[in-house]
Amino acid sequence: VNYTSGSPSTNRASFGPSIGYMKGVEAGPYIMGTYFLTSTYSSYKGTGYEIDLGYKVPTGKVVLGIQMSYKRFMYTESGGSSITPAYEQEYFDPYFVVIIAL
Protein backbone atom coordinates (compact mmCIF):
# COMPACT_ATOMS: atom_id res chain seq x y z
CA VAL A 1 0.00 0.00 0.00
CA ASN A 2 1.29 3.43 -0.89
CA TYR A 3 -0.75 6.44 0.18
CA THR A 4 -0.16 10.11 -0.55
CA SER A 5 -1.98 12.84 1.37
CA GLY A 6 -1.98 16.58 1.64
CA SER A 7 0.48 19.21 0.56
CA PRO A 8 3.33 18.64 0.97
CA SER A 9 2.69 14.97 0.34
CA THR A 10 3.19 12.29 2.98
CA ASN A 11 3.75 8.73 1.77
CA ARG A 12 2.70 5.50 3.46
CA ALA A 13 4.59 2.33 2.57
CA SER A 14 3.39 -0.99 4.00
CA PHE A 15 4.50 -4.59 3.47
CA GLY A 16 2.97 -7.91 4.49
CA PRO A 17 1.35 -11.22 3.50
CA SER A 18 -2.19 -11.61 2.15
CA ILE A 19 -4.62 -14.51 2.13
CA GLY A 20 -8.09 -14.75 0.66
CA TYR A 21 -10.72 -16.64 -1.27
CA MET A 22 -11.89 -16.09 -4.84
CA LYS A 23 -13.72 -18.79 -6.80
CA GLY A 24 -12.31 -18.91 -10.35
CA VAL A 25 -13.40 -16.35 -12.91
CA GLU A 26 -17.15 -16.79 -12.51
CA ALA A 27 -19.29 -14.06 -10.97
CA GLY A 28 -19.36 -13.96 -7.20
CA PRO A 29 -18.04 -12.51 -3.97
CA TYR A 30 -14.45 -12.63 -2.74
CA ILE A 31 -12.57 -11.76 0.43
CA MET A 32 -8.93 -10.98 1.14
CA GLY A 33 -7.01 -10.09 4.28
CA THR A 34 -3.56 -8.55 4.61
CA TYR A 35 -1.41 -8.14 7.71
CA PHE A 36 1.18 -5.39 7.35
CA LEU A 37 4.34 -6.54 9.13
CA THR A 38 5.73 -3.05 8.72
CA SER A 39 4.19 0.29 7.81
CA THR A 40 5.82 3.71 7.64
CA TYR A 41 3.97 7.01 7.41
CA SER A 42 6.04 10.17 7.52
CA SER A 43 8.30 9.59 10.59
CA TYR A 44 5.93 6.98 12.10
CA LYS A 45 6.58 3.22 12.11
CA GLY A 46 4.19 0.43 13.06
CA THR A 47 1.93 -2.33 11.79
CA GLY A 48 -1.59 -2.69 10.41
CA TYR A 49 -4.09 -4.79 8.55
CA GLU A 50 -6.54 -4.60 5.66
CA ILE A 51 -9.75 -6.51 4.89
CA ASP A 52 -11.14 -6.45 1.35
CA LEU A 53 -14.67 -7.56 0.39
CA GLY A 54 -15.71 -7.50 -3.23
CA TYR A 55 -17.94 -8.82 -5.97
CA LYS A 56 -16.65 -9.70 -9.45
CA VAL A 57 -18.29 -10.20 -12.85
CA PRO A 58 -16.49 -11.90 -15.76
CA THR A 59 -16.31 -10.21 -19.17
CA GLY A 60 -14.13 -12.72 -21.05
CA LYS A 61 -10.47 -12.84 -19.98
CA VAL A 62 -10.95 -9.67 -17.94
CA VAL A 63 -12.95 -9.74 -14.71
CA LEU A 64 -14.42 -6.50 -13.39
CA GLY A 65 -15.45 -5.91 -9.82
CA ILE A 66 -16.26 -3.55 -7.01
CA GLN A 67 -14.54 -3.73 -3.64
CA MET A 68 -14.74 -2.12 -0.21
CA SER A 69 -11.52 -2.08 1.81
CA TYR A 70 -11.08 -1.46 5.54
CA LYS A 71 -7.55 -0.46 6.61
CA ARG A 72 -6.25 0.09 10.13
CA PHE A 73 -2.73 1.19 11.06
CA MET A 74 -1.15 1.39 14.54
CA TYR A 75 2.07 3.41 14.77
CA THR A 76 4.09 2.82 17.94
CA GLU A 77 7.30 4.62 16.97
CA SER A 78 8.08 8.11 15.71
CA GLY A 79 11.54 9.39 14.88
CA GLY A 80 13.10 6.31 16.50
CA SER A 81 11.28 6.79 19.85
CA SER A 82 8.36 4.78 21.24
CA ILE A 83 5.07 6.61 21.51
CA THR A 84 2.23 5.85 23.93
CA PRO A 85 -0.61 5.77 23.14
CA ALA A 86 -0.05 4.59 19.60
CA TYR A 87 -1.00 6.87 16.70
CA GLU A 88 -3.85 5.07 14.92
CA GLN A 89 -5.48 5.58 11.52
CA GLU A 90 -8.39 3.75 9.90
CA TYR A 91 -10.01 4.06 6.49
CA PHE A 92 -12.89 2.67 4.44
CA ASP A 93 -12.05 2.91 0.74
CA PRO A 94 -14.18 1.86 -2.28
CA TYR A 95 -12.43 0.49 -5.40
CA PHE A 96 -13.19 -0.59 -8.94
CA VAL A 97 -11.16 -3.74 -9.64
CA VAL A 98 -9.78 -5.24 -12.86
CA ILE A 99 -8.56 -8.86 -12.71
CA ILE A 100 -6.75 -10.51 -15.62
CA ALA A 101 -7.69 -14.21 -15.86
CA LEU A 102 -4.86 -16.39 -17.19
Q: Identify which has the larger pLDDT, 61 or 7.
A: 61
Predicted local distance difference test score (pLDDT) of residue 89: 95
Predicted local distance difference test score (pLDDT) of residue 81: 94
Kind plus residue range of the DSSP H or E element containing 35: strand 28-41
- Quick one: average pLDDT of 10-30? 91
Q: Identify which has the larger pLDDT, 24 or 51.
A: 51
pTM of the predicted model, to two decimals?
0.81
Count CB atoms within 10 A of the CB of residue 55: 14
Distances in Å between the Cα of 75 and the Cα atoms of 45, 67, 100 are 5, 26, 35
Predicted local distance difference test score (pLDDT) of residue 25: 78
Predicted local distance difference test score (pLDDT) of residue 3: 55
